[in-house]
Chains A and B, each alone.
Chain A
Amino acid sequence: MTASPTTLAQKIVARAAGRASVAPGEIVTARVDLAMIHDSGGPRRVEPILQDLGVGLFDASKVVLISDHFVPGDTDEGARILELTRQWAAQRKVAFHDGEGICHVVLPERGHLAPGMLVVGGDSHSPTGGAFGAYMFGVGATEMAGVLATGEIWLKVPETILIEWRGRLSDGVTAKDIMLALCGRLGMDGGKYQAVEYTGEAIAALSMQERMTLSNMAAELGGQAGLIAPDEVTAAFLREAGSDPAGWGDWRGLRTDPGAPLMEHHVFAAGELAPQVAAPHSPANSGPVDDAPQTKVDVAYLGACTGAKYQDLANAARILKGRRVASGVELLVAPASRRDQDRAARDGIMAVLEDAGAKLLPNACGICAGYGSARLGEDVTCISSTARNFKGRMGAASSKVWLGSPLTVAASAVAGRITDPRPMLTEGAGGTA
């Protein structure tokens, strides 16, 4: 008998649930291959629950702890939380990455992920792991404590929303533009907590870090997971990160079969997409940057898991090379990981950013999570490469955050107002902009 066609999500969930197959809508209990926690929702919240339950970790070798929210610990509270985090890592003997960058970026770059894994993360942007063909999703601290205690989690087998981008993106258009366009067209409950899967020529052509931005922001579409079928690009990235493909099983079979049950299938033409910006206070308020008013900006922020990886910094440097940030504008850069920052430094990218007038912040979540001394003040307008622009999230309730790609953020920093990055790309370095 031939097995009926199934989705990538079904294949991963079935294996984790120890079943030959699962059907969308079924509620199953799955074994977790990996649990990722950070300093904010991690030890300080889960340890009291574990104590209350009177149990230890289900498997310390399957837990990864990353400090990123309260880094660099420049407040009394932050320092205390980081100290507690470090003590817990030592006591519980888990893998610990301290101050090395944002969890969603550090987890794959340190080789912890592999295609086909079921992974739970203590942060809402955990779908990032889906870029590597892992079914990864975020949970709150109580549920995470339950996972750490039992190694299990319940799942409603998701339906799949297939999002296909045909053709190729034009120069100056990036994964962030794809996502802002999707948030605008599908809305923030467009995913209805299903599995979002990205496919098509334009997706296959993206680097891993660009794919990570897509998977990450499946959270903004309301999806549980944001999947991309693993391919040679995935394998090359993970191999370099130290993960051994020999342990991945039949990862080439991890894809949605033709004829698999889909809840929705959206097709978009990548070549027609222009750079997008999302107006305050929702990623769904998006549209082409050329249609947006040329709003003056006070702060340009290159940060977060969706906007300050090596690729993002390299994109920004294409604009900033030979140019200066407009007077009165503050360009803040918080590279997403130390490793990405070091690589950008070696390649001359950090020098380009600093020569343009960028101010460097620590490798951490920073003001995207509403932390750090650079939080936005009253009435500040910011153009940001982050994932989310909810009212008051990055600072004062009166502050206004626009979202754009790192290219758009850099171009807007130079122009002093929200602007299309493409003319600056065609003019080349230090044009007459």
Chain B
Amino acid sequence: MSGRVFLFGDDIDTDQLAPGQYMKGGIAALAAHCLEGVRPDFAGSVASGDVVVAGKNFGMGSSREQAAEALKHLGVAGVVALSFAGIFYRNAINLGLPVLTAPSLADLADGERVTLDLDTGRLERAGEKPALPLDPLPDNLKALLADGGLVPHLKKRFAQERQKEQGR
């Protein structure tokens, strides 16, 4: 599924992704205010398949996983950044939101059409532009994403363990 690039700078923090004052409204209400401090039109215009592209240290700050959940709720296909804050990175994978680092963002432009391809580990670009290579994900994280996140992954694991128990 293809979408547009939403381009951001460095150090996008969790208070921007999931502003504290909207926490009590539930994920839909919270997502409606996602990133409004840096880009007021974001939640209103982002659509399924769009890709958030950012500079260094995306998701710094709090451990609140609503920061990743809000992006997923808005249909974001994934986040490509030069680097991620560790807890956000783990939260995103655990919630099934692809997050990939890129050695460089080349000349990616805001609004250009792209497709995040997890199989090839590349961000395909429309037109004649060469695809942007992304750093490969470790195998354990690929498995988590393939299952749709940690909860479905654990369900699968527990089911397998129960089957093994019964098979004995």
Contacts and interface: CB of A to CB of B under 8 A. Distances in A.
B15 A138 contact: no
A262 interface: no
A260 interface: no
Interface string A135-171: 0011111110110011000101000000000000000
Nearest to A396: B21
Contacts of A145: 150-151
A340 B151 CA distance: 39
Contacts of B83: 189, 192
Contacts of A232: none
B20 A370 contact: yes
Nearest to B157: A150
A33 interface: no
Given A143-B90, A188-B11, A54 B64 contact: no
B37 A141 contact: no
B158 A54 contact: yes
A392 B20 contact: yes
Interface of A: 27, 41, 49, 52-55, 77, 122-124, 126, 137-143, 145-146, 149-150, 154, 156, 187-189, 192-193, 222, 224, 282, 369-370, 388, 390-393, 397
A188 B60 contact: yes
A388 B63 contact: no
Interface string B11-22: 101011001110
B155 interface: yes
A127 to B, nearest CB: 11
B43 to A, nearest CB: 16
B126 interface: no
A140 B64 CA distance: 6
B122 interface: no
A149 B154 contact: yes
A333 to B, nearest CB: 22
Contacts of B95: 142
Interface in B51-65: 56-57, 60-65
Contact of A392 (B37, B56, B150): B37
Q: Nearest 8 CB-CB pairs, A to B? A: A140-B65, A193-B86, A370-B20, A189-B57, A140-B91, A124-B63, A390-B15, A138-B63
Contact of A146 (B62, B63, B138, B150): B150
Interface of A: prevailing SS: loop
Nearest to B57: A189
Contact of B61 (A52, A77, A124, A150): A124
B15 A392 contact: yes
B65 A55 contact: no
A140 B11 contact: no
Nearest to B95: A142
A282 B11 contact: yes
How many B residues touch the partner, as a band?
Answer: 35 or more
B71 to A, nearest CB: 14
Contact of A124 (B16, B57, B62): B62
Interface in B84-113: 85-87, 89-91, 94-95
A123 B158 contact: no
A143 B64 CA distance: 11
B140 A27 contact: yes
B78 interface: no
Contact of A52 (B60, B64, B90, B151): B151
B161 to A, nearest CB: 10
B149 interface: yes
A142 B56 contact: no
Given A143-B150, A392-B20, A41 B64 contact: yes
Contacts of A188: 11, 57, 60
Interface in B4-30: 11, 13, 15-16, 19-21, 24
Given A145-B150, A146-B94, A146-B154, 10 more contacts: A41-B64, A53-B158, A140-B65, A146-B150, A154-B140, A188-B57, A189-B60, A222-B85, A392-B20, A393-B15
8 contacts: A41-B64, A122-B63, A140-B91, A142-B150, A143-B90, A143-B91, A156-B138, A370-B21
Contact of B151 (A49, A77, A192, A392): A49
Contact of B63 (A139, A156, A192): A139
A142 to B, nearest CB: 5
A55 B151 CA distance: 12
A38 B164 CA distance: 35
Nearest to A388: B61
Contacts of A122: 63
Contacts of B62: 124
B63 A41 contact: yes
Contacts of B151: 49, 52-53, 142, 145-146
B87 A390 contact: no
A398 B92 CA distance: 29
A391 B14 CA distance: 11
Contacts of A192: 83
A390 B85 CA distance: 15
Contact of A224 (B60, B61, B86, B149): B86
Contacts of B138: 27, 156
Nearest to A156: B138
Contacts of A138: 63, 87
A77 B62 CA distance: 21
Interface string B138-159: 1010000000011100110010
Contacts of A137: 86-87
Contacts of B89: 193
A392 B19 contact: yes
